[in-house]
Amino acid sequence: MISFSLTDEQKELQKLARDFAQNEIAPVAPQLDRTGEYTYAILKKAHQLGLLNLTIGDAYGGGGLGWLESCLVGEEFAAACAGVTTAANANELALTPIELAASEEQKKKFIPPIARDGGLAAFCVTEPGAGSDVASMRTRAVKRGDEYILNGAKHFITNGDVAQLLTVFASTDPEKKHRGISLFVVPADTPGITRHHMGEKMGHRASDTAEIVFEDAHVPAANLLGKEGDGFKAAMETFDRTRVGIGAAGVGVARAALEAAIKFVKERQQFAQTIANFQGVQFMLADMAMKIETARLAVWYAAWLTDEKLPYSYASAIAKAYGSDVAMQVTTDAVQLLGGYGYMADYKVEKYMRDAKLLQIYEGTNQIQRVVIAKAILRD
Ligand SMILES: Cc1cc2nc3c(=O)[nH]c(=O)nc-3n(C[C@H](O)[C@H](O)[C@H](O)COP(=O)(O)OP(=O)(O)OC[C@H]3O[C@@H](n4cnc5c(N)ncnc54)[C@H](O)[C@@H]3O)c2cc1C
């Protein structure tokens, strides 16, 4: 049986997220975008309301919910501000590999200070020389006694400068390439770690993006998750789960842009009538609506597969790529429909367009998603 209706609990969660996003995030989003200030206060309130860390196990202080619930909340947050959404989602991105690879003892030690107590974590894979090609990372972890010594640099790390806990991927055996990548939980105040804010961004300016440098950072061997060499698999499985959230953010951003465009075209008068009367405008709106509706279906389907523990990698790549491509197309059309006003910051749609771009780039660019999708269809 197929059902597209949400349960009462899911509807309540969606309403809680929508009210919070519209009342607490949307009013400050333009200011956060202008100043680039971090969103501590919003994240704190979201945590108190149970709107963060939704997919993390309740035994460790997380929401104990599924990816569908996470996507419902993510769409609402992103409709208010994609930058806040990126900051909020970074915890799930950082904690998911711990859930996947850690022992029970490690989970109980590392996850609750973040998920239960409202801390922040960051997921550290990308390096200056290793983006899409994760396996080429050069950060090294060398075992000495009951410690690993970490050296290297990560960059573009969301929450990197504000997080207290880092999930760090480093090579313990470069000759083994991806099979030599290991995963560590690293307290951010470990001596030998320096962190730098990476400067101005096009969009998502309410989120922090940092470079993290490791210079002889000593990490207890007890902070290795799983065995040496388990890191690459944990990173890929994490992306398979979390990237559906990028698709959901795309739906949220696109929805906000369509709503702004609808309001505008109903008010704007040209040629002695509202521009909503013109079929050329109506067809653009209809195309935007079709894309948003189908992107949401792709997102919900991938999230449902993940929650049902059915194969989801292919569907989540489609949800991520399609949801973010739709966000880019719909926000661009929204700017077009507002004409010159669309180009001005006061009308918000130019922010949506800037925010949409990042969704096509991070957690695996949309070309990489197409590589995943093409591999699956050629294999099958
Ligand atoms: C604001 C922001 C936040 C981020 N947050 C995090 C984070 O929290 N943690 C983290 O680890 N990383 C994070 N990233 C990094 C992000 O995931 C990478 O930027 C992304 O994976 C692309 O890597 P790259 O920038 O090195 O680009 P590259 O890999 O150098 O790619 C450059 C171009 O080449 C294309 N390309 C590369 N390989 C192929 C291929 N095989 N086929 C076709 N095209 C290809 C890419 O699609 C892209 O268009 C963040 C990035 C940004 C900008």
Q: Which of 75, 92, 350, 363 is catalytic?
A: 363
pTM as predicted: 0.97
pLDDT tens figures, 196-253 = 999 899 999 999 999 999 999 999 999 999 999 999 999 999 999 999 999 999 999 9
CB 212, CB 137: distance < 8 Å: no
Ligand 1 nearest-atom number relative to CA 132: 29
Beta strands 165-171 and 193-197, pairing class: unpaired
The pLDDT score that the predictor gives to residue 4 is 87
**Cα–Cα distance for residue pair 121/115, rounded to 1 Å:** 9
Ligand 1 nearest-atom number relative to CA 94: 8
Ligand 1 centroid from CA 365, angstroms? 6
Sort 55 into a burial class: Cβ within 10 Å, 0-12 / 13-18 / 19+: buried
Domains of the chain: 8-115 (1.10.540.10), 121-228 (2.40.110.10), 233-379 (1.20.140.10)
Identify which of 137, 156, 167 to mutate to test ligand 1's pocket (most ligand atoms within 8 A of the CB).
156
Q: What mean pLDDT comes out for the span 280-284?
A: 98
Ligand 1 centroid from CA 148, angstroms? 27
Identify which of 154, 165, 361 to mutate to test ligand 1's pocket (most ligand atoms within 8 A of the CB).
361
Residues with CB under 6 A from ligand 1: 90, 123-126, 131-132, 156-158, 201, 204, 209, 358, 361-365, 367-368, 371
Ligand 1 nearest-atom number relative to CA 201: 1
What is the full DSSP assignment across 348-376?
SHHHHHHHHHHHTTSSS-HHHHHHHHHHH
CB 298, CB 315: distance < 8 Å: yes
- Grouping H, G, I as helix, E, B as strand and the rest as coil, residue 134 is helix
pLDDT tens figures, 30-58 = 999 999 999 999 999 999 999 999 999 99
Identify which of 362, 363, 369 to mutate to test ligand 1's pocket (most ligand atoms within 8 A of the CB).
362
Ligand 1 centroid from CA 361, angstroms? 6
37 annotated active-site: no
**Cα–Cα distance for residue pair 187/164, rounded to 1 Å:** 6
**Cα–Cα distance for residue pair 304/309, rounded to 1 Å:** 8
Residue bearing the CA closest to ligand 1, atom 38: 132
What is the full DSSP assignment across 276-328?
GG-HHHHHHHHHHHHHHHHHHHHHHHHHHHHHTTS--HHHHHHHHHHHHHHHH
State the chain's mean pLDDT as an integer: 97
The pLDDT score that the predictor gives to residue 380 is 67
Residue bearing the CA closest to ligand 1, atom 50: 156
Q: Is the pLDDT of residue 165 over 80?
A: yes
pLDDT tens figures, 316-371 = 999 999 999 999 999 999 999 999 999 999 999 999 999 999 999 999 999 999 99
**Structure tokens belonging to residue 296:** 């949401």
**Cα–Cα distance for residue pair 70/92, rounded to 1 Å:** 10
CB 44, CB 88: distance < 8 Å: no
CB 372, CB 270: distance < 8 Å: no
Q: What mean pLDDT comes out for the span 272-296?
A: 98
Q: How big is the CA angle at 171 (ends 167 and 176), to the nearest 5 degrees?
A: 140
pLDDT tens figures, 85-122 = 999 999 999 999 999 999 999 999 999 999 999 999 99
